[in-house]
Every structure is written in structure tokens, then in C-alpha cells.
Amino acid sequence: MQVKVISTNSGKFAEISKFFEGLDVQLEMQKLELLEIQADTLEAVVSRKLASVEESVGNCLVDDSGLFIDALSGFPGVYSSYVYRTIGVNGICKLMRGVENRSAHFECLFGFRINGRDYFFKGECTGEITDNPRGSGGFGFDPIFVPEGYSQTFAELPIEEKNRISHRGRALQHLRKFLENLLEKS
């Protein structure tokens, strides 16, 4: 089975690829600029992204993720990509200076189109925001997010461990189970 991963982020593609190892699925990264609407939910953003992919692309996978910080009323949330590009991890650290409640969570939603039908898979990971960025791995807000039960940021964890516990990893675990069942039936 061929699946096009619609993304311009090679780090994200590498994480996704690990989850498909051992399955009869060939992934191809396709760099398409999709319309990314500003909406209140990941569901609305991912649904619109998936709808903007031409049917001729075939089986495809799109996603959106957000970092939701409790003390900032869920900000940056669905605007995480924009916030990362404009103020980055240091800007978030500045906003969090002096804030005691450091709790936050990441959410990821994948939209998967196969044979003309759309399916959605969600994952979540709770944790805390650090005072300063740490680590050189990962991408985005990984250097300032410590998952619950850990002392290292996502950027400090080995990719295999991050993939196992992250919001994206959890969503991909649901997607992998779906694909295993689908491939078993065919």
C-alpha cells in the first residue's frame, strides 16, 4: 500500500516512518502547501487540510498538533505552528516567567484518507513547560516540554522513547492498529 505523508517537516516524516516499519506500507513524503485555516480545534484544521488534498493524490496522511499550556488558557493550542515561527520556544519561556503552574499537554490529530474515505486518530501527552530550552533532538516545542513521569524534555529523549510516549506516537499507535486490521482483511 502506498501512502503519501503530506508535510514539509522532515523530522515529523522520520517519526511517522518509524511507526510503519514492518507493515506492507510504503511511505512517501509529499511537500504540498495545504490550506491551514485558523480554527478553534485541531479537528477543524485537519478536516480542512484533508479536504484540500486532491483525490488524485490517493492514500494520504495529514496532521496537526498543538501545545496547550494551562496557565495561558490553552495558548498556543491550534496556533502552535504560527507561535513557534513568530516567538519560538524562547518566547513561550518568556511568557511563562514567574508562572507557578507549568502544566501543559500536547495533542496530535491525524487525518488518513484511504480509498476515498477519511479516518481520524488522536493522541495526547501531558507534562510541564521548562524554564529554559533543553536538548537538541526533536523539533518545534520539544526543547521546553517535559512529559509526565520524566525529567528530560522531548528534545533530550531518544527518538524511540519519544515516539512511544508522545502525542504523535499515541495517535500513530491508533493508526497502526487500524492499518494492521485493514491489511489483515485484504
* pLDDT tens profile 27-58: 999 987 776 677 889 999 999 999 888 888 89
The answer, yes or no, to whether the previous bond of 76 is cis (omega within 30 of 0) is yes
pLDDT of residue 19: 87
Question: What residues does 146 pair with on adjacent strands?
Answer: 128
pLDDT of residue 138: 83
Extents of the domains making up the chain = 2-185
Share of the chain above pLDDT 90, in %: 72
Mean pLDDT of the chain: 92
Note the pTM of the prediction, 2 decimals: 0.90
pLDDT of residue 73: 97
Question: Higher pLDDT residue, 148 or 9?
Answer: 148
pLDDT of residue 183: 86
Share of the chain above pLDDT 70, in %: 99
**Which CATH architecture does the domain made up of 2-185 adopt?**
Alpha-Beta Complex (3.90)
Contact 105, 127 (CB under 8 A): yes
Active site residues: 64
Place of cell 476515498: 116
